[in-house]
Structure 1
């Protein structure tokens, strides 16, 4: 058996996720560049131009998920690298809604391929510590957003350089993760290791628990990413530099995910999700009535809520529905990103025609639904444990 350098693969995976996350922060900063005061697009038009970041991500995960099992993790990882490079170059050249749309599509495909390949990689390498290691891996989504937010602020607001320089900084993590993956041996996916057939995998996707989790993924991802992706417009009347609020939120998220192990051990995934929904609802509600320094307090509560959403949803499926394989994980991630592509134009329309407060108030409905859903999930999982 070929030797697998787990630590190098894990570090390279983290850098790939940093790239993904930086694109989110930098795209949030581009909203003002291409908006009414810049290129001249309306906030609704920008919402549509940004949607490929999410449905492109979704398509990459849905198609990339089963391909991970058939082609191997390595090939999908290199597809991510190529798509990232194309997307970054095209973004630098963007000068209209159409070119921004196409550039964002390639970035989204690259991001989706990262998730499609590397979630199964982590689950395969650390099969007995999935929740802990997937949360530790996903530290670098908020971590990368912090990096991207600070880079955007420094490049454009402090040094006064043009936005193309800000976008070009994405090549730094891309080149590093490409070099680190070069020449490495990759493990096969967990489904292949377990010997689960394609028929078993596809039939398991129809289980009520999996369908329920996909539904919840729509709401958890939209609550987190729909809000943070439009932070510039949502908070421009509340604070001087909304991008720093984004960095603050994601700094809290990174710390939380770094120490997810003890939390997961005490609450179990279903408990983590319930508490996350409660804090997210309170945080969004507080953001509707906060300004100045209180915005950071509200943002902290929101951050505590969304910290464990994405990785714990993924790890729940990996732990309790492993027979769904890489495809199951990809459907989860794809559903999450697709939901964000739906809410971005809706939020843009609300902000164009009503106000940011109305958009935040509408978004708070999503975690309210999740509180009920995850309360029921806790009851179900406790009963299932008692029967086992």
Structure 2
């Protein structure tokens, strides 16, 4: 750490930075493995509990349940980031671990606790609680990492968030390889292992002083940093679209693509997250060469092309190629967006980072049900009406659902196209300012 950084954050010198960083990794890994497992068991949950209750709306109901985690994540990360100095990072991570225990348990035992539509309500609630744990995690670990490593924020946040796809890989592979060994409820319960470890380690770790004590920046100044600079809300809106381009397709891919491409969609998700795990370790260095907006522009282009290719894929090879393009596009979006806000609005502190994090989560909450609704509407239209769809079976039903899945991914590709314009303008504007500054210094 540079002397300047050390002077700015004296409290971090008295703590075990490595232990804290890896605790953040574990908590994020737990949130991600839960997300990956939920995506992996979604088809089984839908077939066992939702299809018998509401066959015509099953896709929308399932997407709404999966999206509940993003709703609670959005609200939690906003509230917890606002009150982080009062709550404390330690309590946030302890609460996150508790939610990672209670949420999966509610999903696992929903069928034993209720009947009919009430089973769905328990599943929805379990997803909601899991999202609260994710929100508490992000509210704590992002500002904690920025506090621990102020001189290398972009790189460290990308390394930290490399373990988000790492968790999805583990969760997705568990869902795939254990499908014939365990019921989907047993696979969901595996999340309890890292959840309990998070609670134990957080309870026995010393944390640095609150950010407000370190920087002297009060909450009013954090608000002022945001509201006095309207450009912040451009980043807020961009976060909505980047997250919708990454997280929503990830949760929907197993349900929508497995039949059409001839392989389990969860394997595509695992493969994409393996790409993310590797490339997030290098994203900070790449951003230093072309700037954060430049990196995000390239990412948006690849994401748009990849989503369109996924909508057209009809074979495992085509799906893998499309997933590669999409995965390379979205792999650095989330941590690079957080780092961009941390660097451009430093006095916004945890609140600014939490606000853009909540925007990302709200995107998935709104977009996932829309994906499900588009899928349901399209399958009914392609079948020739509700009665016609209800009468379909076997290959005919699969063909209709495959066409509907293609349409849903095709429409989703519009979102990163919008980002091309946003990041393109920011990139050109910042390059112009940089050149003008260099010219002034030379003169």
TM-score (norm 1): 0.96
Which stretch of structure 1 is more off in the superposition, 81-90 or 11-20? 81-90
Report whether the alignment pairs 1:6 with 2:17.
yes
CA deviations on 1:52-79 (whole Å, 9 max, x unpaired) are 2001001110110011122321121112
The residue aligned with 1:71 is: 87
| Cα distance in 1 for residues equivalent to 2:218 and 2:436 | 27
**1:384 offset after TM fit, Å?**
3.7
Cα pair 2:41 2:175 within 8 Å, conserved:
no
CA deviations on 1:135-170 (whole Å, 9 max, x unpaired) are 00000111111110001112114x2x1112101110
The residue aligned with 1:201 is: 222
Say how many residue pairs are matched: 386
The residue aligned with 1:357 is: 406
**Secondary structure, counterpart of 2:312 in structure 1:** coil
The residue aligned with 1:232 is: 254
Equivalent residues in 2 for 1:72-91 (5 A)? 72-91=88-107
Cα pair 1:121 1:189 within 8 Å, conserved:
no
Report whether the alignment pairs 1:381 with 2:381.
no
**1:328 offset after TM fit, Å?**
0.7
Report whether the alignment pairs 1:288 with 2:337.
no
The residue aligned with 2:347 is: 323
The residue aligned with 2:169 is: 146
**Secondary structure, counterpart of 2:231 in structure 1:** helix
Cα pair 2:99 2:129 within 8 Å, conserved:
yes
| Cα distance in 1 for residues equivalent to 2:366 and 2:121 | 18
**Secondary structure, counterpart of 1:138 in structure 2:** helix
| Cα distance in 1 for residues equivalent to 2:301 and 2:414 | 12
Cα pair 1:80 1:114 within 8 Å, conserved:
yes
Report whether the alignment pairs 1:210 with 2:232.
yes
Cα separation, partners in 2 of 1:260 and 1:191, compared to 1, 3 Å: farther
The residue aligned with 2:382 is: none
Report whether the alignment pairs 1:175 with 2:196.
yes
| Cα distance in 2 for residues equivalent to 1:91 and 1:248 | 26
**1:36 offset after TM fit, Å?**
4.4
**Secondary structure, counterpart of 1:222 in structure 2:** helix
Cα pair 2:101 2:191 within 8 Å, conserved:
no
| Cα distance in 2 for residues equivalent to 1:202 and 1:358 | 41
Cα pair 2:98 2:195 within 8 Å, conserved:
no
| Cα distance in 1 for residues equivalent to 2:211 and 2:325 | 36
Cα pair 2:82 2:351 within 8 Å, conserved:
yes
Structure 1: stretches of 5+ with no match in the other structure: none
Report whether the alignment pairs 1:56 with 2:105.
no
**1:107 offset after TM fit, Å?**
0.3
Cα pair 2:66 2:251 within 8 Å, conserved:
no
| Cα distance in 2 for residues equivalent to 1:364 and 1:137 | 27
Instruction: Please tell me the root mean square deviation across aligned C-alpha atoms, in Å.
Output: 1.5
Which stretch of structure 1 is more off in the superposition, 128-137 or 68-77? 68-77
**1:280 offset after TM fit, Å?**
0.3
Cα pair 1:278 1:367 within 8 Å, conserved:
yes
Report whether the alignment pairs 1:301 with 2:322.
no
CA deviations on 1:330-382 (whole Å, 9 max, x unpaired) are 11111100111001111011111211111111100000000010001102222
Report whether the alignment pairs 1:258 with 2:243.
no
Structure number, greater radius of gyration:
2
**1:191 offset after TM fit, Å?**
5.0
| Cα distance in 2 for residues equivalent to 1:338 and 1:382 | 31
TM-score (norm 2): 0.84
Cα pair 1:263 1:272 within 8 Å, conserved:
yes
Structure 2: stretches of 5+ with no match in the other structure: 1-10, 112-118, 379-403, 438-443
| Cα distance in 2 for residues equivalent to 1:24 and 1:322 | 30
The residue aligned with 2:338 is: 314
| Cα distance in 1 for residues equivalent to 2:61 and 2:194 | 30
CA deviations on 1:253-280 (whole Å, 9 max, x unpaired) are 1101022232122122111111100110
| Cα distance in 2 for residues equivalent to 1:289 and 1:304 | 18
Cα pair 2:16 2:206 within 8 Å, conserved:
yes
**1:284 offset after TM fit, Å?**
0.7
Which stretch of structure 1 is more off in the superposition, 26-35 or 210-219? 26-35
The residue aligned with 1:45 is: 61
Q: Out of 32, 56, 59, which is 1:21 matched to?
A: 32
**Secondary structure, counterpart of 2:262 in structure 1:** coil
| Cα distance in 1 for residues equivalent to 2:105 and 2:45 | 17
Which stretch of structure 1 is more off in the superposition, 314-323 or 377-386? 377-386
Cα pair 2:50 2:62 within 8 Å, conserved:
no
